[in-house]
Homo-oligomer: A and B are copies of this chain.
């Protein structure tokens, strides 16, 4: 296999990020198995055509089932709204296609499990889009944890803070509707934190959470792009059916204590996706707004010069850096997707499952739902219950 022909379902925020990644791979990772952008699929043919022209897809389709059925497609990239993931993934697996699916994998744990089972039964490659794993600074954190340089993990705390719906007049976009989005800040932002926790600190044993919808009703949206949207004056209002903020405590299998917070009501935080890990030998801190940096502390440093180091993860010693620019020349948000797609095509070429794959998506979904149950039932919920 010299190239991997891709059919992409969806073309908004994530479709743009994926297309950019596919286009970057040949230039920056020329040795990789290269994606071939074959067909872009969207329900609205005209909008899909416009997107395809812009994003670099030669062909357009309006029926995803036709795309899944095509013989000349190797991989289905699912980034349409969350309520479509399951049906498309099941069909893709059945058709023997490799699958990349954006997070959250599904609207429910049950659905996620079906998707995993289908992909495994079909023997196809499956991956889920937890892109933040692919920041070089996060890779450095992973390396420090895995190599034991932080020692035993005592604490993992993480928060994903945004403020894009702080204004009560911000309209009721699909991300605020449970039937389409599944959940609000919890599934959208908290899911990333949970995956990072799994990746960096291990499995979670039990959780207890707290949720709130601060603004119960919002004007109906007129149009929407990315995360921005507008409504007309005096637009009628509809109910917000997802959480504005969800926090939870967690106990990990290894005894570490976890604290998680996802909110869209943190004024001044455009997208603070941050975590800290404290171990017996050291600590690390990360904030995606300064994604090129990892703060690192070691207890073994000389007594008079102990302190958190601001490591700029752009040196040859850091993941991916040699593909890009000289030390000190930083990367941005989009590069996480390029690295993510590199993992996807590398795994396919090597005949292994990429990480994170549907198993990770299921694990994340289990924690998401356990938190929701803990909120509903006001009690600690063990993940093994789920």
Interfacial residues, chain A to chain B (CB-CB below 8 A): 13, 16-17, 19-20, 23-24, 26-27, 30, 53-56, 140, 143-144, 154-155, 157, 159, 161-164, 166, 208-210, 212, 214, 226-228, 245, 247-249, 251, 255, 257, 259, 261, 263, 265-272, 276, 278-283, 288-293, 295-299, 301, 303-312, 314-318, 324-335, 378-380
B56→A326 contact, CB < 8 A: no
A307→B316 contact, CB < 8 A: no
A317→B331 contact, CB < 8 A: no
**How far, in angstroms, from A298 to B278 measured CA to CA in the complex?**
23
Q: Which residues does chain B contribute within 8 Å of A295, judged by CB atoms?
A: 307
B303→A166 contact, CB < 8 A: no
Q: How far is the CB of A273 from chain B (nearest CB, A)?
A: 9
With A154-B245, A263-B155, A267-B299 known as contacts, the answer to whether A326 contacts B226 (CB < 8 A) is yes
Closest residue of chain B to A285 (Cβ to Cβ) is: B268
With A27-B23, A330-B332 known as contacts, the answer to whether A280 contacts B166 (CB < 8 A) is yes
Q: Which residues does chain B contribute within 8 Å of A267, judged by CB atoms?
A: 278-283, 297, 299
Point out the residue from B157, B226, B330, B378 that lies within 8 Å of A333, measured CB to CB: B330
Q: Which residues does chain B contribute within 8 Å of A19, judged by CB atoms?
A: 27
B155→A245 contact, CB < 8 A: yes
Q: Which residues does chain B contribute within 8 Å of A379, judged by CB atoms?
A: 378-379
Closest residue of chain B to A325 (Cβ to Cβ) is: B333
**How far, in angstroms, from A279 to B163 measured CA to CA in the complex?**
11
Q: How far is the CB of A211 from chain B (nearest CB, A)?
A: 9
B327→A164 contact, CB < 8 A: yes
A210→B263 contact, CB < 8 A: no
B228→A316 contact, CB < 8 A: yes
The 4 closest A-B CB pairs, nearest first, are: A271-B328, A270-B328, A268-B297, A332-B332
Point out the residue from B144, B257, B283, B307 that lies within 8 Å of A310, measured CB to CB: B307
Point out the residue from B144, B291, B303, B309 that lies within 8 Å of A315, measured CB to CB: B303
Q: How far is the CB of A135 from chain B (nearest CB, A)?
A: 11
B251→A249 contact, CB < 8 A: no
Interface centre among A24, A307, A310 (most CB of B within 10 A): A307
Q: How far is the CB of A159 from chain B (nearest CB, A)?
A: 7
Please name 19 pairs of A and B residues whose Cβ atoms are closer than 8 Å in the assembled complex, sorted by A.
Answer: A20-B27, A144-B305, A164-B326, A208-B208, A210-B249, A226-B326, A263-B278, A267-B280, A268-B278, A269-B278, A270-B315, A270-B328, A271-B328, A289-B292, A296-B305, A305-B309, A307-B309, A308-B310, A324-B334
Point out the residue from B227, B309, B335 that lies within 8 Å of A326, measured CB to CB: B227
**How far, in angstroms, from A54 to B212 measured CA to CA in the complex?**
50
A304→B315 contact, CB < 8 A: yes
B249→A247 contact, CB < 8 A: yes
Q: How far is the CB of A282 from chain B (nearest CB, A)?
A: 5
Q: How far is the CB of A184 from chain B (nearest CB, A)?
A: 14
Q: Which residues does chain B contribute within 8 Å of A307, judged by CB atoms?
A: 268, 293, 295-296, 309-312
| 11 additional A-B residue pairs with CB within 8 Å, beyond A226-B326, A271-B327, A291-B330 | A30-B53, A162-B328, A163-B278, A164-B326, A257-B263, A266-B283, A268-B308, A269-B328, A298-B305, A308-B309, A329-B332
